[in-house]
Amino acid sequence: MNFLVGAFKPPCNVSINLADGRTRKQVPLKKENGQTVMVPLFQSQENIVGEVVIEPVQGKKVEHNGVKIELLGQIELYFERANFYDFTSLVRELDVPGELYERKAYPFEFSTVEMPYESYNGVNVRLRYILKVTISRNYVSNIVEYQDFVVHNYTPLPSINNSIKMEVGIEDCLHIEFEYSKSKYHLKDVIIGKIYFLMVRIKIKNMELEIRRRESTGSGPSTYVETETLSKFELMDGAPVRGESIPIRLFLSPYELTPTYRNINNKFSVKYYLNLVLVDEEDRRYFKQQEITVYRLLPTP
Amino acid sequence: MIADGVENEEKWLAAGIAGLQQNAFYMHRALDSNNLRDALKYSAQMLSELRTSKLSPHKYYELYMRAFDELRKLEMFFKEEARRGCSIIDLYELVQHAGNILPRLYLLCTVGSVYIKSKEAPAKDVLKDLVEMCRGIQHPVRGLFLRSYLSQVSRDKLPDIGSEYEGDADTVVDAVEFVLQNFTEMNKLWVRMQHQGPAREKEKREKERSELRDLVGKNLHVLSQIEGVDLDMYKDTVLPRVLEQVVNCKDEIAQFYLMDCIIQVFPDEYHLQTLEILLGACPQLQPSVDIKTVLSRLMERLSNYAASSAEVLPEFLQVEAFSKLNNAIGKVIEAQVDMPIFGAVTLYSSLLTFTLHVHPDRLDYADQVLGACVKKLSGKGKLNDSKATKQIVALLSAPLEKYNDIVTALKLSNYPRVMEYLDIETNKIMATVIIQSIMKNNTRISTADKVEALFELMTGLIKDLDGAEEEVDEDDFKEEQNSVARLIQMLYNDDQEEMFQIICTVKKHIMTGGPKRLPFTVPPLVFLSLKLVRRLQGSSQDQEENPFGDDSSTSPKKIFQLLNQTIEALSIVPAPELALRLYLQCAEAANDCDLEPVAYEFFTQAYILYEEEVSDSKAQVTALHLIIGTLQRMHVFGVENRDTLTHKATGYSAKLLKKPDQCRAVYGCAHLFWVDDQDNMKDGERVLICLKRALRIANAAQQMSNAARGNTGSVLLFVEILNKYLYFYEKGNPQITVAAIQSLIELITTEMQSDNSPPDPAADAFLASTLRYLQFQKQKGGAISEKYEAIKV
């Protein structure tokens, strides 16, 4: 087996080493095969500096038509088979055509790279960043090596962050007023709020707050919308009476949220909603959905 | 169906316990291996069992207690974790990730308790957060238990004064605020239970609610235990807030229970100082609340407090406790239109007990209470509510017990007015109570006014009241009347004038008693009067009799007039024998007072009765002997009067039905002519006539007996007559000769030996002892001996 593998092994080992690889933060990334690997984390405008090391297998030479490294930002829509869109593509030529006999390191640098979009792994869409090294060869397939990395972009605290406050109801049946202290939340934020019951004429069994993620991909008639409920958080047990005010405190940290993405490269959007659901004794559900904006706050050092 | 329900409930409980134990097992395992994540997961699952709606509060409690025990272990674990360096703040957040609210809040309370202990945040902030978050449970039973858990775990962690959790200034306010808020919310949930679920299960719900009430009440207890709650704080914050909740919840069960709780858990001196506030809430309660019990307990507590130490009494005066209570009761009665009379009376009764304890010197207060009670009762007629009458009896007994002195009670002008509302039966009972009190304490009722008042009170015993009298038990009746008789005997005043007034008053009242009572009440009155007569007699010897016969002053004559009328009243009964005896008693008293006409009048009355009313022959015999006995002792009569009377008496004697009776009466009459210590009344001749007549009658009796039965009958009569002979002989009646005596003895012996006479051991013995007496006198020596020597046997 090893022998067989050995037979098809490329004639050289290619590795991409980042200059700050040891100190840079690593984040988990789920691969297609379901495995999670740790990959470096970047943000937009960062310099991506490192070296590519090509080490021919003992006693072999590698002929090539040139070595290059690319930085690619791709959007992959699953329902359109093999449909990649590169929204970012930067190339550095590392070597002119020639032959390699021994280990050779090529330093590379992408300075202040614009990476406007965050890495995202959704239901119907994936946005990813890769470093791709290509050793072009004649007659035989090119030797290609990938290095995934993740981009998170941080948003400063929003200057305006209004509360969400609304009175809703069904005539002569149920009137409530709810309030979420903010409309924009960072990923580790807490939703604070309260629900005030103005009129209750139905027998309520309980009340939940759902966090829903709505991913829409494509555009026009071929838009795919996927909605997931990330949390069912019970806020109230039992039937309140008029005048009761029920507190809300929901920590967002346990849920795998991403920031809100709006119309990423005209390909997809990810939005978050708070859905307040009241369930009556006959299991009828009364709900009101409100969009919230989720953003990524620079972690305080 | 219901049995099914119970069975199902058992099943559900068993399932709940099983689920709880299983998760508790995994939780323990996680705890043992210090696995926080699993510990939280399994504890949340364990607590999910408490989310059930299928159990009654009773069963739910069982489940809750098991969860409670498990949570203690979890709390220990959290403490350990905190000590190992796990951030308690993180832990506080971590437990809030639980999706279901009930487990989440139980865990939050548990961590919160550790949080406070760690002192990483001020206790007040944590407590405030906890109590706020608990609002999420709106289900009454689950909410009550959760909040009860919160109360339980926070009890020893309140930022009280002197507690290690004491914060900066006004820290107690936070502690109080926390407990008050928890209390308010719990009460709301508790009240809400009443309004949920179908109407037909109302009773069941009420039962369930009463099972839960202590959970709510516990908060008040916690409040009372907070050191920092001083009087000012109690007055300004605690009480108003609690009362606000009590009043606003508009729930009968809650209002009653909580008012009672307030009264029981807080100290007496607080109640005293906040009476106005507390009482102010009472009229605002629901009309159906059993407020009388609440107020009664309050007054009972205050009474006991007052009784506990004399030092606290000034406080009562200072806060005008009485007038406040009095006002409040007035208002409550006004507000609760539907309150039964029984309730109102209970209130007054409690108030009276209170005022008697606290203001024993303020009779006017007591009278005010009674007055208010009368006002409430007026226009209602007699009460026929047995509970209410019972309360009135209690109300009326209270002053008696307190003062041990009916005289004090008699000063209460409203006292008899309250009694008027009692039904006849109860009125009697009350009157008996009064009399017993007098007897027990040996109270002297010493003025006519008081007697008047007293009899006014006892009307029930003194006369038939309006309204048809049902059959009364004969024994009971006797008992009652005997006690009245005893009471009459107890009336006394040193001042004779006043005493006479008392007698007049008594007479006035007992005369209304009717034929059944008079035989019981007249004799004591007569003797009471005669006692006074004796006293007058005694004093008149000391001082000169008023020569002008001042009419206004009491004289024996006046009393006798009164007595005459009194005894006459017995004729309607009729009770001739009794009247006759009383007349004779009076005659004797008159005799002692040297009032001949009066004595004569009494005798006349006695004779008339004898002639007209006493028809039974046995009664006649008795009466006649009484007459003879009395007459014999009379010394006031002049010759003429005496002759008339003795003549009559002798005449009556001869007219008795049976010969032996005749005989005995006649020889009795002999004494009328021979009064030992009065020389002008020694008529030996007439004595002898009487004796001879007796002999004749005895003879006749023997002959009758012979004719009717064939034997001569007993010689007993002869022996008796012989004794009379001997008596008069010994007293020196010259008409009685030795010969007569000897012939009589012979006659007797002959008779006894005759075959015709039946053996009579009594007669034999009598004769034998008579003869022995003869012998004895003979041997005595001296003049008597000489006298007897002459008699030869």
For chain B, percent of residues with pLDDT exceeding 70 = 94
Q: How buried is residue B760: exposed, middle or buried, by Cβ count under 10 Å (0-12/13-18/19+)?
A: middle
Query: Minimal CA–CA distance to A279: which of A200, A196, A207, A199?
Result: A207
| Per-residue pLDDT at B550 | 47
Question: Residue A136 pLDDT > 60, yes or no?
Answer: yes
Please name the member of B99, B136, B196 whose beta carbon is closest to the beta carbon of A236. B136
**Is A246 close to B132, i.e. CB distance below 8 A?**
no
Question: Residue B713 pLDDT > 70, yes or no?
Answer: no
A273-282, B376-385, B442-451, B600-609: range with highest mean pLDDT: A273-282
pLDDT digits (tens, 9 = 90+) for B671-700: 888 887 777 778 888 888 888 888 888 888
pLDDT digits (tens, 9 = 90+) for B729-773: 888 888 888 888 888 888 888 887 776 667 778 888 888 898 898
- Given the structure tokens 């604070």, which residue do they identify? A192
- Given the structure tokens 């690889």, which residue do they identify? A21
Interface test with chain B among A249, A250, A277, by most B beta carbons within 10 Å: A249
List phi, psi (to 5°) of A106. -115, 110
| Per-residue pLDDT at B564 | 85
Chain B residue with CA closest to A255: the answer is B97
Query: Minimal CA–CA distance to B21: which of B78, B84, B66, B73?
Result: B66
pLDDT digits (tens, 9 = 90+) for B559-606: 888 888 888 888 777 788 888 898 988 888 888 888 888 888 888 988
Interface test with chain A among B135, B144, B146, by most A beta carbons within 10 Å: B135
Going by pLDDT thresholds of 50, 70 and 90, the confidence category of residue B475 is confident
| Per-residue pLDDT at B543 | 47
Question: Residue A294 pLDDT > 60, yes or no?
Answer: yes
**Is A244 close to B135, i.e. CB distance below 8 A?**
yes
Average pLDDT, whole number, for chain B?
A: 85
What angle separates helix B101-118 from helix B57-83, to the nearest 10 degrees?
Answer: 40
Going by pLDDT thresholds of 50, 70 and 90, the confidence category of residue B30 is very high
- Given CB atoms, is B100 within the 8 Å cutoff of chain A? yes
| Per-residue pLDDT at A82 | 64
At B680 the three-state DSSP class reads helix
Question: Residue B213 pLDDT > 60, yes or no?
Answer: yes
Contacts of B142 in chain A (CB under 8 A): 237-238
At A141 the three-state DSSP class reads coil
- Whether the Cβ atoms of residue B370 and residue B417 lie closer than 8 Å to each other: yes
Cα separation, B604 vs B580, in Å, equals 10
pLDDT digits (tens, 9 = 90+) for B119-144: 888 888 999 999 999 999 999 999 99
Chain A residue with CA closest to B189: the answer is A240
Would residue A34 be called left, alpha or beta, if left means φ above 0 and alpha means ψ between -120 and 50 degrees?
left
- Whether the Cβ atoms of residue A295 and residue A185 lie closer than 8 Å to each other: yes
pLDDT, greater one: B303 or B422: B303
Alpha helices (runs of H) in B543-676, residue ranges in sequence order: 556-569, 576-592, 596-612, 617-633, 639-654, 659-669
How big is the A-B interface in CB pairs under 8 Å? 55
**What angle (nearest 5°) sits at the alpha carbon of residue B250, between those of residues B248 and B252?**
140
Question: Residue B386 pLDDT > 80, yes or no?
Answer: no
- Whether the Cβ atoms of residue B490 and residue B436 lie closer than 8 Å to each other: no
pLDDT digits (tens, 9 = 90+) for B424-470: 777 777 888 888 888 887 777 778 888 888 887 777 777 776 554 55
Q: How buried is residue A183: exposed, middle or buried, by Cβ count under 10 Å (0-12/13-18/19+)?
A: middle
- Given CB atoms, is A281 within the 8 Å cutoff of chain B? no
Q: Distance (Å) from the C-alpha of residue A257 to the closest C-alpha of chain B?
A: 15
- Whether the Cβ atoms of residue B342 and residue B385 lie closer than 8 Å to each other: yes
| Per-residue pLDDT at A183 | 95
- Whether the Cβ atoms of residue A292 and residue A186 lie closer than 8 Å to each other: no
**Interior/surface letters A128-166, b for 16+ CB within 10 angstroms, e for the rest:** bbebbbbbebeeeeebebebebbbbbeeeeeeeeeebee
Cα separation, B245 vs B237, in Å, equals 12
| Per-residue pLDDT at B570 | 81
- Whether the Cβ atoms of residue A210 and residue A204 lie closer than 8 Å to each other: no
**Is B135 close to A238, i.e. CB distance below 8 A?**
no
pLDDT digits (tens, 9 = 90+) for B153-167: 998 888 887 777 776
For chain B, percent of residues with pLDDT exceeding 90 = 24
Cα separation, A217 vs A226, in Å, equals 8
Cα separation, B758 vs B760, in Å, equals 6
Cα separation, B360 vs B408, in Å, equals 11
List phi, psi (to 5°) of B35. -95, 95
In DSSP terms, A234 is beta-bridged to A208
At A70 the three-state DSSP class reads strand
pLDDT, greater one: B309 or B623: B623
Question: Residue B168 pLDDT > 50, yes or no?
Answer: yes
What angle separates helix B291-308 from helix B252-265, to the nearest 10 degrees?
Answer: 0
pLDDT digits (tens, 9 = 90+) for A85-131: 899 999 999 999 988 888 899 999 999 999 999 999 999 999 999 99
Q: Distance (Å) from the C-alpha of residue A157 to the closest C-alpha of chain B?
A: 23
Alpha helices (runs of H) in B491-549, residue ranges in sequence order: 496-510, 518-542
pLDDT, greater one: B539 or A137: A137
Cα separation, B671 vs B724, in Å, equals 9
**Dihedral in degrees, nearest 10, Cα atoms B141, B146, B148, B152:** 160
- Whether the Cβ atoms of residue B634 and residue B675 lie closer than 8 Å to each other: no
- Given CB atoms, is B138 within the 8 Å cutoff of chain A? yes
Interface test with chain A among B138, B147, B189, by most A beta carbons within 10 Å: B138
| Per-residue pLDDT at B793 | 66
Q: Distance (Å) from the C-alpha of residue A240 to the closest C-alpha of chain B?
A: 5
- Given CB atoms, is B617 within the 8 Å cutoff of chain A? no
List phi, psi (to 5°) of B63. -65, -45
**Is A247 close to B51, i.e. CB distance below 8 A?**
no
pLDDT digits (tens, 9 = 90+) for A182-200: 999 999 999 999 999 999 9
Cα separation, B185 vs B128, in Å, equals 13
- Given the structure tokens 């991409």, which residue do they identify? A16
Going by pLDDT thresholds of 50, 70 and 90, the confidence category of residue B216 is very high
- Given the structure tokens 């007549």, which residue do they identify? B693
In DSSP terms, A10 is beta-bridged to none
- Given the structure tokens 């926080």, which residue do they identify? B36
| Distance from the Cα of residue B517 to its chain's centroid | 24
Q: Distance (Å) from the C-alpha of residue B136 to the closest C-alpha of chain A?
A: 4
- Given CB atoms, is B197 within the 8 Å cutoff of chain A? no
- Given the structure tokens 């959704």, which residue do they identify? A122
Interface test with chain A among B50, B94, B101, B251, by most A beta carbons within 10 Å: B101
**Dihedral in degrees, nearest 10, Cα atoms B195, B197, B202, B207:** -90
**Is B135 close to A241, i.e. CB distance below 8 A?**
no
Q: Which helix (H) or strand (E) holds A54?
A: strand A48-56
- Which residues lie below 8 Å from residue B249, measured CB to CB, with a gap of 6+? B187, B188, B191, B255
- Whether the Cβ atoms of residue B322 and residue B359 lie closer than 8 Å to each other: yes
- Given the structure tokens 């041990």, which residue do they identify? B404
Please name the member of A237, A241, A245 whose beta carbon is closest to the beta carbon of B142. A237
Global pTM value: 0.74
Going by pLDDT thresholds of 50, 70 and 90, the confidence category of residue A2 is very low
Q: Distance (Å) from the C-alpha of residue B138 to the closest C-alpha of chain A?
A: 5
ipTM of model = 0.89
